[in-house]
Copies of this chain bind each other. A is one copy, B any other.
Amino acid sequence: MNEEPRYKRKEDCPLTYAFALIGGKWRLPIIWALWKNEKLRYNELKRSVDGITNMVLSHTLKEMESYGLVVRKQYMEIPPRVEYSLTEAGKDLVPSLESLAKWGKAMQNK
């Protein structure tokens, strides 16, 4: 996958910035899975996010980690174990998302 040219860090408008952080095809499903499960291993997460490939999952997680949304914790074991979870900032996001989801649901019923 390419290097990210998309996300100008610290964009002027906070709302646009927020969307830059959580937009894209897989970010929301990942956040949702980690919200419902607290912490997940790589393959658990992959199974929770239906249809995502290794390529895209690992790349997306790296981005989200760099944005401060996700924590990656690696255990030095064999076989390797890596656990992902939401940062506090990631959790802070959830109420806003629930609010948006509520609106989305109302829109679906029209």
Contacts and interface: CB of A to CB of B under 8 A. Distances in A.
Interface residues of A, number: 33
A107 B32 contact: no
Q: Which 5 A-B pairs have the closest CB atoms?
A: A18-B104, A14-B104, A14-B105, A15-B101, A96-B99
Interface of A: 10-11, 13-19, 21, 23, 28-29, 32, 67-68, 89, 92-93, 95-97, 99-108, 110
21 contacts: A11-B108, A13-B29, A13-B101, A14-B102, A14-B103, A14-B104, A14-B105, A15-B97, A15-B100, A16-B104, A17-B105, A18-B104, A19-B23, A19-B100, A21-B104, A21-B107, A67-B107, A68-B107, A68-B110, A95-B99, A96-B96
